[in-house]
Amino acid sequence: FSRSFSQFLSQSQLPSFGIAFDIDGVLLRGESPIGGSPQALKRLYDSSGALRIPYIFLTNGGGFPESKRALELSKLLGVDISPLQVVQGHTPFKQLVNRFENEFVVAVGKGEPAAVMAEYGFKNVLSIDEYASYFDGIDPLAQYKTWTTKQDAKQSSTLEQMRTRDSVHSQRVQATFIVSDSVDWSRDIQVLSDILRTGGLPGREIGHQPHLYFANDDLAYQATFPSERLGMGAFRIALESVFNSIHPNALEYTSFGKPNPFVFRNAETVLKQLVPSIHCGTNPVDHVNAGTHHFKKLFMIGDNPSVDIRGARQAGHPWFSILTRTGVFKGTENHTEFPADLVVNAVEDAVEYVLSKER
């Protein structure tokens, strides 16, 4: 009796809501916190620093493993963030590991794209930086590019010795993953076109197109510059347009990230998984079954109407969308095509609203 009574008490004190925060344009611009984000997040912890409201970061960005991103976000935002709370555009690539575990795949983008894939369990992955370095002259503009690219630390030590130029040349690339924003569009569009039109063997004759996955399809996002910057969706348009002009069949690809409804369903699952670590009073409610916990409301706080707000609207109940004016959206009223349930100036106002409504 006493156990079920205490369980009833704890369950009734448990928050019946959770929050998903977009990162770029809501919490950060580049590496700088915006909209009072550190103070807003601090309100989701108790005085001892224990988490009291389930929340996650639901970003289309990426480039680093979730564990590394959690550490970086903890430093920038001044709260203790667990890797479980970090859901990035490329996080769903994890689910493709069964299909490509031992296949030769190429990972593209800023940061450490190959380390991201290796952490998900892909065993035969090269970054496009390393891959391109095995093909002399593949980028005819390389000599004019004065920057140097840092190769993924994890890759070089374990796989480098095993690989010879010949083995890379003779292995068919089975899939390409755009993990994060391409750093060098001209080189990446050239090398990806080579891989995709030849069936994964650059320099050879035309072959069946290998799989192509994008972590998101954001046309634009908010960084430090006052107006939006071109995102992965813009890179996709450029690659697709070039590919379709040089190849008889249209480019085939799959894009992940918001606004896809499965991203919001997965976000709900992850938020439920956080419930057992939530502190009610002094103790974590570790006997609560995460699977059966029921959220009455889930808040998506975002800056991009066509991505964050559209996604939350499509996901439907229990999602409630809050649009900030600190990023892509800069209007005074609501967005006309994808209106949010609430528009606020900044993330601190959004958190204030959520806590006042749901206490």
Q: Which residues of the chain form contacts with ligand G3P (CB under 6 A)?
A: 22-25, 59-61, 181, 216, 218, 221, 231
Contact assessment for residue 94 and residue 100, using Cβ atoms and an 8 Å cutoff:
no
**Listed residue (156, 159, 173, 170) closest to 123, CA to CA:** 159
Radius of gyration (C-alpha) of the chain in whole angstroms: 22
Q: Least separation, in Å, of the C-beta of 269 and ligand G3P? A: 19
Report the partner that residue 348 touches, choosing among Mg ion, ligand G3P, none (CB closer than 5 to 8 A by kind): none
Angle at 19 between CA 15 and CA 24, to 5 degrees: 160
**Listed residue (12, 7, 36, 10) closest to 301, CA to CA:** 36
Report the partner that residue 103 touches, choosing among ligand G3P, Mg ion, none (CB closer than 5 to 8 A by kind): none
Report the partner that residue 59 touches, choosing among ligand G3P, Mg ion, none (CB closer than 5 to 8 A by kind): ligand G3P
Q: Least separation, in Å, of the C-beta of 6 and ligand G3P? A: 39
Q: Least separation, in Å, of the C-beta of 295 and Mg ion? A: 23
* Matching residue, tokens 């040349």: 169
Report the partner that residue 228 touches, choosing among Mg ion, ligand G3P, none (CB closer than 5 to 8 A by kind): none
Q: Least separation, in Å, of the C-beta of 345 and ligand G3P? A: 17
Report the partner that residue 61 touches, choosing among ligand G3P, Mg ion, none (CB closer than 5 to 8 A by kind): ligand G3P
Pick between residue 132 and residue 301 the one whose CB is nearest to ligand G3P. 301
Pick between residue 58 and residue 275 the one whose CB is nearest to ligand G3P. 58
Q: What is the token pair recorded at 121?
A: 């369990």
Pick between residue 25 and residue 54 the one whose CB is nearest to ligand G3P. 25
Contact assessment for residue 220 and residue 228, using Cβ atoms and an 8 Å cutoff:
yes
**Listed residue (62, 70, 127, 126) closest to 93, CA to CA:** 62
Pick between residue 209 and residue 306 the one whose CB is nearest to Mg ion. 306
Report the partner that residue 210 touches, choosing among ligand G3P, Mg ion, none (CB closer than 5 to 8 A by kind): none
Pick between residue 35 and residue 231 the one whose CB is nearest to ligand G3P. 231
Q: Least separation, in Å, of the C-beta of 34 and Mg ion? A: 11
Q: Residue 303 interacts with Mg ion (CB under 5 A)?
A: yes
* Calpha distance 292→273 (Å, rounded): 10
Report the partner that residue 218 touches, choosing among ligand G3P, Mg ion, none (CB closer than 5 to 8 A by kind): ligand G3P
Report the partner that residue 111 touches, choosing among ligand G3P, Mg ion, none (CB closer than 5 to 8 A by kind): none
Pick between residue 81 and residue 288 the one whose CB is nearest to ligand G3P. 81
Pick between residue 22 and residue 129 the one whose CB is nearest to ligand G3P. 22
Binding track, positions 149-188, relative to Mg ion; x by CB under 5 A: ----------------------------------------
Using the contact rule CB under 5 A, the part of the chain among 111-119, 198-206, 210-218, 297-305 near Mg ion is 297-305
Residues 12-51 that bind Mg ion (CB under 5 A): 22, 24-25
Report the partner that residue 217 touches, choosing among ligand G3P, Mg ion, none (CB closer than 5 to 8 A by kind): none
* Calpha distance 248→269 (Å, rounded): 42
Say which residues have a Cβ less than 8 Å from residue 7's Cβ, sequence separation at least 6: 287, 288
**45 - beta bridge partners?**
51
Q: Least separation, in Å, of the C-beta of 216 and Mg ion? A: 10
Q: How many other CB atoms are there within 10 angstroms of residue 53's CB atom? A: 20
Pick between residue 60 and residue 127 the one whose CB is nearest to Mg ion. 60
Interacting residue ranges for Mg ion, rule: CB under 5 A:
22, 24-25, 303-304
